Amino acid sequence: MTQRERLLATYRFQPVDRVPDFEFGAWEQTITRWHSEGMPQGSNNMWVAIDEYFKPDSGGGGIGINIGLKPGFEHKVLEEKGDHIIVQDGDGATAEMLRPELGASIPHYLRHAIETRADWEKLRDERLNLATPGRISEKLEEDCRLSLEADYPIGLSCGSVYGWLRNWMGVENLSIAIMEQPAWVLEMMSYLTNMRLKLFEGLAGKCRIDQGWWWEDMCFNKGPLVSPRWFAENMVPLYKRITDFLRRECGCEFHILDCDGNIHQLVPLWLEGGINVMFPVEVAHTDPYRIRAEFGRRVPMRGAFDKRALIEGKAAIDREFEHLRPLLEGGGLIPHTDHLVPPDVSWENYCYYRQKKLEFIGKKAD
pLDDT tens-digit series, residues 243-292: 999 999 999 999 999 999 999 999 999 999 999 999 999 999 999 999 99
CB contact at 8 A, 196 and 248:
no
Q: What is the pTM of this model?
A: 0.94
Beta strands in the chain (DSSP E): 61-62, 76-81, 84-88, 94-98, 108-111, 154-159, 211-215, 254-258, 277-279, 301-305, 333-337
pLDDT value for 103: 76
pLDDT value for 44: 85
Distance (Å, whole) CA 247 – CA 183 = 29
Of 282, 319, 212, 264, nearest to 24 by C-alpha is: 282
For CA atoms 330, 289, 7, 354, the dihedral sign is negative
Q: Is the pLDDT reported for residue 69 higher than 90? A: yes
Strand order of the sheet with strand 84-88?
Answer: 76-81, 84-88, 94-98, 108-111
| DSSP helix/strand/coil, 254 | strand
Q: Please, what is the average pLDDT of the chain?
A: 96
Distance (Å, whole) CA 115 – CA 30 = 34
CB contact at 8 A, 257 and 278:
yes
Confidence of residue 104 (pLDDT cuts 50, 70, 90): confident
CATH 3.20.20.210 is right for the domain spanning 3-72+113-361: yes
User: What pairs with residue 215 in β-bridges?
Assistant: 258
Instruction: Give the mean model confidence (pLDDT) for residues 8-16.
Output: 98
Q: Which long-range contacts (CB under 8 A, 24 or more apart) does 91-98 make?
A: 91/164, 91/167, 91/168, 92/123, 92/168, 93/167, 93/168, 93/170
Dihedrals phi, psi of 237, to nearest 5 degrees: -60, -30
Distance (Å, whole) CA 17 – CA 362 = 8
Dihedrals phi, psi of 308, to nearest 5 degrees: -65, -25
Per-residue pLDDT tens digits for 27-63? 999 999 999 999 999 888 889 999 999 999 988 999 9
**CA within 13 Å, CB half, 65:** 24
Per-residue pLDDT tens digits for 209-236? 999 999 999 999 999 999 999 999 999 9
- Going from N- to C-terminal start, the domains of the chain cover 3-72+113-361, 74-112
**Distances from the Cα of 174 to the Cαs of 121, 178, 191, in angstroms?**
16, 6, 16
Residue type, 123: L
pLDDT value for 365: 81
**C-alpha 58: how far from its chain's center?**
16
| DSSP helix/strand/coil, 224 | strand
Distance (Å, whole) CA 242 – CA 157 = 11
Distance (Å, whole) CA 259 – CA 217 = 4
Distance (Å, whole) CA 67 – CA 242 = 13
- Other Cβ atoms less than 10 A from the Cβ of 336: the count is 25
**Distances from the Cα of 94 to the Cαs of 76, 89, 90, 114, 116, in angstroms?**
10, 7, 10, 11, 16
DSSP structure class, residue 65:
B
User: What pairs with residue 299 in β-bridges?
Assistant: none
CB contact at 8 A, 81 and 26:
no
**C-alpha 34: how far from its chain's center?**
24
What's the N-to-C CA distance of the chain in angstroms? 18
Confidence of residue 240 (pLDDT cuts 50, 70, 90): very high
